[in-house]
Structure 1
């Protein structure tokens, strides 16, 4: 099954579907407090969606900060997990940012997802912290050519 990855404008029909998916995954499934799920960054972030079988089945956002690009709100509908959708979205989003000259990426990963992000070149650092009621670790990209963390 082919997956289409698109960057979508905030509050477009597709972005609104992504917001609905985030509510489904984070609030309903993972019990993140609803007031913590959406924030002011949603107004300025670059939002990506994954479309499969005619519906939005995945989403993430990029926040362009001075020190790095922060990846967040990575979500895939439960019935579509295990198909490589999150990996495809991350690669597409990071590639789009790289085309704009960005090479430093940061994210806060749920602790049970560290291996997934490590497979994409991220390295955990710092202590575990709680976000949305779940343990997380900060992660950043790792330059395989120089064997150095990208600060």
Structure 2
């Protein structure tokens, strides 16, 4: 029963902007599902739904896959607007950003999905990326420099 309910939830949120768990529960009840708010809450967690700003100017539930392109574009904009300089130092990539932008740019870099990154540390205006080999460091520098040209 749960998988059918999950399928129905995904159908509902793809066709209608649902802002609250209660709205989603009401929609499910209209479709014949006997659900509580607690059940809907668990389903939202299981399906990894998130809220995004909808076309009507209010937040609505969405799947990660529906929002990933939107998020990706936003992250690229963050990189274009915050990175000042990038350089490789052995197995480190050092990224300089506008003051106060290091954390946001670090998060954006993490979403790019580079292979062989051991870790990223972001400060106020500097990001250190430790990679597993110097070739990867040079590749990351090349990609990030495209955002500041």
Q: Same fold (TM over 0.5)?
A: no
Q: Give the structure-1-normalised TM-score.
A: 0.26
Higher helix proportion: 2
Higher strand proportion: 1
Q: Give the structure-2-normalised TM-score.
A: 0.27
Greater Rg by CA: 2
